[in-house]
């Protein structure tokens, strides 16, 4: 089907989409992982930081489905990326300038809420640009650019802090936000088919309710959900604690967090590249086992050693665990569903 012509037509927008994913990695969550290290060195207690993280997490979760519907209906998907990016970075600058209760709690709430628009808007934009057939392929390309952007921004933040200190962070933050906005504007709005974007977005809503009834009827999905819930309960705070712990210990929150986050991101990228092969070679169950085993070992290492060097095995294990589970989960869900007869077409041998 007219691949060559449609590809040629959307090329510029696809390049812009790649850049957007690259810069959004840094621009979409403001201070992101650096918040903990930064505030910990300003005397905030782990408990208060835990409350901040929980508040953001809950608000984001409540906001995401609400905004999903809004994004579906909107024909201004580019604006729905630009406005959150501007607000999130403004909140981050406010927090850096005066880290008090108002800026931290207010800024993080705002970041969580408007940040929840970016995900659905980016998905809608991607789907509207490439269509359903090439959607999953494009999503993995988005992921690739996003990971690359993450690593680049961590390296950039490290370098900027070494050379310019806090001003370097501020400058970098402003630059990435501007670059993300420019990349968004470079996407040709005429190339976004809003009906196509909506088609799968509606489809996306369907697994909510119907997924629930399937879940209740499937032992595999229930067990998977339970295992993942416990898994996430276990791993969610550890990277934040490590950032706090070593930021205080070393007194350099941005450099410390850039290293800890960078190590786990690199491990995650390696795992993401290797995972399809590993699943074929060793089977899905072994991949789950390795992924789930990585985290208890990680906790034990982090708990046993207090030297900074410990972050390397600890964060590599984080990347392995989170990376493998992140990839194995959708595969498992699809297999369980296929077993229930939902994917009749795919059930040939």
Q: For residues 306-325, which are near another protein according to CB under 8 A?
A: 306, 321
Instruction: Using CB under 8 A, pick the residue from 6, 9, 50, 189 that binds another protein.
Output: 50
Residues 144-203 that bind another protein (CB under 8 A): none
| Residue number, 187 or 292, with CB nearest to another protein | 292
Least distance (Å) from another protein to the CB of residue 127? 17
DSSP letters, 52-106, are HHHHHHHHHHHHHHHHHHHHHH-S-TTHHHHHHHHHHHHHHHHHHH--SHIIIII
The helix or strand, by DSSP H or E, that contains position 133, with its residue range, turns out to be: none
Least distance (Å) from another protein to the CB of residue 138? 12
Q: Is 229 exposed, middle or buried (0-12, 13-18, 19+ CB in 10 A)?
A: exposed
| Residue number, 102 or 236, with CB nearest to another protein | 236
Q: Rg for the chain (alpha carbons), in Å?
A: 21
Rounded Cα gap, residues 148 and 22, in angstroms: 6
Least distance (Å) from another protein to the CB of residue 211? 9
| Residue number, 4 or 349, with CB nearest to another protein | 349
Instruction: Using CB under 8 A, pick the residue from 2, 3, 140, 307 that binds another protein.
Output: 140
**Residue 35 interacts with another protein (CB under 8 A)?**
no
Phi, psi of 251 (to 5 degrees): 75, 15
**Residue 273 interacts with another protein (CB under 8 A)?**
no
| Residue number, 61 or 102, with CB nearest to another protein | 61
Least distance (Å) from another protein to the CB of residue 282? 10
**Residue 335 interacts with another protein (CB under 8 A)?**
yes
**Alpha carbon distances (Å) from 290 to 236, 275, 349:** 18, 12, 28
Rounded Cα gap, residues 309 and 285, in angstroms: 32
**Residue 234 interacts with another protein (CB under 8 A)?**
yes
**Residue 102 interacts with another protein (CB under 8 A)?**
no
- Choose the stretch contacting another protein; rule: CB under 8 A; options: 24-32, 85-93, 157-165, 291-299: 291-299
| Residue number, 185 or 312, with CB nearest to another protein | 312
Rounded Cα gap, residues 30 and 87, in angstroms: 9
Instruction: Using CB under 8 A, pick the residue from 106, 199, 220, 313 that binds another protein.
Output: 220
| Residue number, 151 or 331, with CB nearest to another protein | 331
**Residue 300 interacts with another protein (CB under 8 A)?**
yes
DSSP letters, 153-178, are HHHHHHHHHHHHTHHHHHHHHHHHHH
Choose among 187, 170, 64: nearest CA to 115: 64
| Residue number, 153 or 245, with CB nearest to another protein | 245
CB-based contact 59:109 (threshold 8 Å): yes
**Residue 327 interacts with another protein (CB under 8 A)?**
yes
């Amino acid at each position: 089907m007219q691949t060559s012509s449609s590809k040629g037509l959307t090329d510029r927008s696809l390049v812009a989409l790649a850049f957007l994913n690259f810069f959004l990695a840094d621009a979409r969550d403001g201070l992101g992982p650096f918040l903990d290290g930064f505030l910990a060195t300003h005397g905030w207690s782990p408990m208060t930081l835990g409350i901040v993280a929980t508040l953001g997490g809950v608000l984001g979760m409540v906001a995401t489905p609400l905004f999903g519907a809004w994004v579906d209906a909107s024909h201004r998907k580019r604006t729905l990326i630009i406005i959150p990016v501007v607000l999130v970075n403004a909140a981050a600058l406010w927090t850096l300038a005066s880290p008090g209760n108002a800026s931290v709690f207010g800024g993080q709430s705002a970041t969580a809420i408007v940040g929840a628009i970016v995900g659905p808007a980016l998905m809608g934009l991607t789907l509207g640009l490439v269509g359903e057939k090439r959607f999953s392929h494009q999503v993995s390309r988005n992921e690739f650019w996003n990971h690359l952007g993450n690593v680049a921004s961590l390296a950039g933040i490290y370098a900027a802090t070494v050379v310019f200190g806090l001003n370097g962070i501020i400058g970098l933050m402003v630059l990435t936000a501007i670059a993300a906005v420019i990349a968004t504007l470079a996407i040709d709005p005429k190339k976004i088919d809003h009906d196509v974007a909506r088609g799968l977005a509606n489809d996306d809503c369907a697994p909510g309710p119907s997924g629930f009834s399937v879940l209740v009827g499937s032992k595999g999905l229930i067990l998977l959900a339970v295992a993942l819930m416990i898994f996430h309960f276990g791993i969610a705070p550890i990277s934040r604690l490590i950032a706090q712990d070593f930021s205080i210990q070393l007194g350099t929150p941005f450099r410390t967090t850039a290293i800890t986050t960078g190590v786990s991101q690199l491990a995650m990228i390696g795992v993401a590249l290797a995972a399809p092969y590993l699943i074929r070679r060793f089977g899905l169950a072994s991949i789950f086992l390795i992924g789930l085993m990585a985290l208890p070992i990680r906790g034990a290492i982090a708990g046993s050693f207090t030297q900074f060097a410990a972050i390397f095995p600890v964060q590599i294990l984080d990347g392995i665990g989170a990376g493998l589970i992140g990839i194995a989960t959708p595969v498992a869900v699809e297999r369980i569903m296929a077993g229930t007869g939902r994917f009749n077409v795919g059930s040939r041998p």
